[in-house]
Amino acid sequence: MLKSIRNLLTAGALAATAFVPFTQAAEDTVKVGVLHSLSGTMAISETSLRDVLLMAFDEINASGGVLGKKIEPVVVDGASNWPLFAEKAKQLLEQDKVAVTFGCWTSVSRKSVLPVFEKDNGLLFYAVQYEGEELSKNIFYTAEAVNQQATPGVDYLLDELAKKKFYLLGSDYVYPRTTNLVLKEYLASKGIPAESIKEVYTPFGHTDYQQIVAEIKQFAASGDACVVSTLNGDTNVPFFRELANSGIKSEDCPVISFSVSEDEFRGLPTKDLVGHLGAWSYFMSVDTPANTAFKEKFFSWLEKSTVPGIEKKGRVTNSPMVLSYDGVYIWKAAVEKAGSFDVDKVRAALESGITFDGPSGKVTMQANHHLTKNVYVGETLPNGQFKILKSYESVYGEPFLKGKFK
């Protein structure tokens, strides 16, 4: 089912650059890059980021553009192929001459494009939770840092659920491995011994979780264990199905996931995730007028959209979408403050502190290229939404945590 849903997007990805007819002369537009996987294993997550970015561009264009110029999106497909991301980044910067790019999902895709953006002095906004330990003058991280997702999630498991054993399960790449290095130090600082921590990784697209789930069941037999999941992409489908088939329930061994949001629930067996946890800086269930307005605008935009192959039914909103949306408006405000699209001038404006009242509350760009923002821990409901259990307001983004808790 998951692949059949997402395969519809591939054709749309190929034609996406032509989704809006532009009649203005070239000097009346500014090109903006969108670099996401619209096909492959990560399309389950990344396609919705393309959609919300296009909505934001349409909103801005309808209100007069940026410095009097209409945004002309240039959409390219990274195709869940990390070296291809670098090629597409080079195309956007050197051929299309985009003023800014919004994109990447996995840290490996971001690290693949980073040298390109630094060489060509491009500007990238990155909106997906990540492991930190990085600060590039060419990247602005609207994403959740580890202290804005992973450590608050672990705090909830420790303080509210009194968990004492932690099974760290992740996809085998930089984000899960580095995040777990920090979490192991953090757990040790909280008095959790090394023998109460288990660390396991699987490849992207892995499908056989029978042995791992059997191990989790044994690990959790004491009744005080949990799983901290950094599995990314469609590998979550077989994992949660196997977990449910094994009879492990959330009250026995809760799973807190850092890469599963409302959008991924559309392709997951949601009934198998009920009671399990998530931690993000936004949930669709956030009850504020700003979020209500955002959701109404997005669903209205979807209905009117002419983007080829776009999904219109059963759509939801999630944290990476909102952080992408926030990023567009933060960039717009910085351009207007700088009075220029010049990357160096826009960077200086961003570093001076730009605030935006977004769907999840006020966010502020810090001098270290990260956002101050709210953090929420939630429990999965049968309808694929999160019940908010705990919130943390205005959490400062700290990119460098490795070694801090030793």
Q: How many helices (H) and strands (E) does the chain have?
A: 12, 14
Q: Where are the beta strands (DSSP E) in 164-223?
A: 165-171, 197-202
Alpha-carbon distances, residue 91 vs 32, 78, 101 (angstroms): 12, 12, 11
Neighbouring CB atoms inside 10 A of 371's CB total: 30
DSSP 271: G
pLDDT in tens, 328-353: 999 999 999 999 999 999 999 999 99
C-alpha Rg value of the chain to the nearest Å: 20
* Identical topology for domains 2-145+288-373 and 147-284+375-395: yes
Least confident of 90-99, 256-265, 284-293: 256-265
Buried residues in 70-109 as b, exposed as e (16+ CB within 10 A): bbbbbbbbbbbbbebbbebbbbbbeebebbbbbbbbbbbb
pLDDT in tens, 88-147: 999 999 999 999 999 999 999 999 999 999 999 999 999 999 999 999 999 999 999 999
CATH number of 147-284+375-395: 3.40.50.2300
Domain topology for 2-145+288-373: Rossmann fold (3.40.50)
Q: For tokens 């205005």, name the residue.
A: 394
Alpha-carbon distances, residue 320 vs 53, 74, 160, 236 (angstroms): 11, 20, 26, 17
Neighbouring CB atoms inside 10 A of 267's CB total: 18
Q: How many residues are present in the chain? A: 406
Q: For tokens 């130090």, name the residue.
A: 185
pLDDT in tens, 29-53: 999 999 999 999 888 889 999 999 9
Give the pLDDT of residue 19: 42
Q: For tokens 């821990």, name the residue.
A: 377
Domain boundaries, the chain: 2-145+288-373, 147-284+375-395
Q: Which two tokens stand for residue 33?
A: 């890059």
DSSP 92: I
pLDDT in tens, 201-244: 999 999 999 999 999 999 999 999 999 999 988 899 899 999 99
